[in-house]
């Protein structure tokens, strides 16, 4: 349940507000390649400005490992944000210390300042209290809208909340409402679609959803390990021998709620141009590998999705990066888009796949967090969320 204070619960007029945003966007030669995360922060930023706050924004970008890496500077993002917001966005060359302090001090209500990459300091990932304190000293209040970083207890996501009143932004609130509330207390029937490369990455997700869902539709590489656990030879398919026992146990616990593909697309190599064919699930011939779910499975899974009131999806059904093996993933995207269910998609590649399918508009909630959304699906409380003030 969502029981954290949000920007609506605080008075920001005339205050300096430190907003942790997730501006970890792909950059190429200083150009923003995908601005989803920047746009996702706008409702919170615009609301705070309307309420008369001065905004000091901070974020990490990439993995500079505690050192200044010029290619990972947020400076181009400040310029980009300025264009999107239609107003100047100032930039400070450091997120703490004299550069940040003087820029923050000069800021007036209605103005926006972006600080340099928090991960240029080793203290960020170490959650160093000294760094957190310096960040906090720049402002009167703290707002966390960086859902994508909330699974990390870092100086700018967790440490800083020890020194400033801390509340959630609108994006954080929305992510928690869907990935937390909706999944803890779903409208039934509740259907989970789980795929992706490996079971080992998703054991926590499967275990958590198993207790709550009416059906779990399995696809992707993880299906192979379930097949092998059932005793099928899987040819050259991606398989994780070290979790065969776990797979067997999950099959047993889930009973008929766990659905496995009954036809698959096999290929003679891992390649966009590989020879491929559909076969009913059975022993996979040597030299062949499963790269997608088959059309009958898409039809059957789509029917289950049609009857759902809540659908949560993590993990592509096949190697959707190759068009020949994207039909399973895009077929289910179609079913989810057409259903009346509340639909939630989380996970890096899953989100990319749904966007690529052109059906993103018809999904209720597409998460902006990769790792954070997975941890939510595991039923965990994220440290960056736990640290915010309760209502």
Binding site for Mg ion (CB under 5 A): 348-349
The Cα angle at residue 137 between residues 99 and 116, in degrees rounded to 5: 40
CA–CA dist 254, 251 (Å, integer): 5
Using CB under 6 A as the binding rule, whether residue 369 contacts ligand ADP is answered as no
Beta strands 263-267 and 112-115, pairing class: unpaired
Kindly list the catalytic residues. Answer: 37, 198, 348, 371
Residue list 299-338, contact with ligand ADP (CB under 6 A): 314-316, 318-319, 321
d(C-alpha 247, C-alpha 228), whole Å: 9
From ligand ADP, Mg ion, none, interface partner of 314 (C-beta below 5 to 8 A by class):
ligand ADP
371 binds ligand ADP per the rule CB under 6 A: no
Q: Per rule CB under 6 A, is residue 368 in the interface with ligand ADP?
A: no
Verify binding: residue 235, ligand ADP, rule CB under 6 A: no
Residue nearest to ligand ADP according to CB distances in the complex: 196
Phi, psi of 186 (to 5 degrees): -80, 155
* Cis bond upstream, residue 365 (ω within 30): no
Distance of closest approach, residue 148 Cβ to ligand ADP, in angstroms: 13
Q: How far is the CB of 155 from ligand ADP (least distance, A)?
A: 27
Q: Which is nearer to Mg ion, 148 or 186 (CB)?
A: 148
Q: How many residues bind ligand ADP (CB under 6 A)?
A: 19
Partner from ligand ADP, Mg ion, none contacting 238, C-beta within 5 to 8 A by type:
ligand ADP
**Residue from 122, 137, 197, 386 in contact with ligand ADP (CB under 6 A):** 197
**Restricting to residues 338-367, which ones interact with ligand ADP according to CB under 6 A?**
347-350
Nearer to ligand ADP, 198 or 212 (CB): 198
User: Residues for the chain: how many in total?
Assistant: 391
In terms of CB distance, is 343 or 350 closer to ligand ADP? 350
Residue closer to ligand ADP by CB (options 56, 179) is: 179
User: How many whole angstroms separate alpha carbon 24 and alpha carbon 348?
Assistant: 13
Name the β-bridge partners of 236: none
- Judged by CB under 6 A, does residue 236 bind ligand ADP? no
Q: Tokens for 15, please give them.
A: 């205050």
Partner whose binding site includes residue 319, from Mg ion, ligand ADP, none (CB under 5 to 8 Å by kind) = ligand ADP
Residues of this chain that interact with ligand ADP (CB under 6 A) are 195-197, 201, 220-221, 238, 290-291, 314-316, 318-319, 321, 347-350
């Amino acid at each position: 349940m969502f029981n954290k204070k949000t920007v609506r619960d605080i008075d920001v007029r005339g205050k300096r507000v430190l907003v942790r945003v997730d501006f970890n966007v792909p950059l190429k030669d200083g150009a923003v390649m995908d601005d989803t995360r920047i746009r996702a922060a706008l409702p919170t930023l615009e609301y705070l400005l309307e309420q008369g706050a001065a905004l000091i924004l901070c974020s990490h970008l990439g993995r500079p490992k505690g050192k200044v890496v010029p290619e990972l500077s947020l400076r181009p993002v400040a310029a980009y944000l300025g264009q999107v917001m239609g107003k100047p966005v100032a930039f400070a060359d450091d997120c703490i210390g004299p550069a940040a302090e003087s820029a923050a001090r000069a800021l007036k209500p209605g103005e926006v300042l972006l600080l340099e990459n928090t991960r240029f300091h080793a203290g960020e990932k170490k959650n160093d209290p000294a760094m957190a304190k310096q960040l906090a000293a720049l402002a009167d209040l703290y707002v966390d809208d960086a859902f994508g970083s909330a699974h990390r207890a870092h100086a700018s996501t967790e440490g800083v909340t020890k020194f400033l009143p801390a509340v959630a932004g609108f994006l954080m609130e929305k992510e928690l409402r869907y990935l937390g509330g909706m999944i803890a207390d779903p409208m039934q029937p509740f259907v989970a679609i789980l795929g992706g490369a490996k079971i080992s990455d998703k054991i926590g997700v499967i275990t958590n959803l198993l207790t709550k869902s009416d059906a779990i539709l399995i696809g992707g590489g993880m299906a192979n390990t379930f097949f092998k656990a059932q005793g099928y030879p899987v040819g050259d398919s991606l398989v994780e021998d070290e979790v065969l026992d776990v797979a067997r146990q999950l099959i047993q616990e889930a009973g008929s709620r766990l659905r496995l593909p009954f036809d698959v697309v096999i290929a003679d190599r891992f390649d966009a141009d590989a020879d491929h064919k559909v076969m009913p699930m059975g022993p996979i011939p040597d030299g062949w590998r499963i790269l997608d779910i088959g059309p009958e499975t898409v039809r059957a899974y789509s029917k289950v999705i049609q009857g759902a009131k809540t659908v949560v999806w993590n993990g592509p059904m096949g190697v959707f990066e190759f068009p020949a093996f994207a039909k399973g993933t895009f077929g289910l995207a179609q079913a989810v888009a057409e259903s009346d269910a509340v639909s939630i998609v989380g996970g890096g590649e899953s989100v990319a796949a749904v966007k690529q399918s052109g059906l993103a508009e018809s999904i209720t909630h597409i998460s902006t967090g990769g790792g954070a959304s997975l941890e939510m699906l595991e039923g965990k409380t994220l440290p960056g969320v736990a640290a915010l003030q309760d209502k």
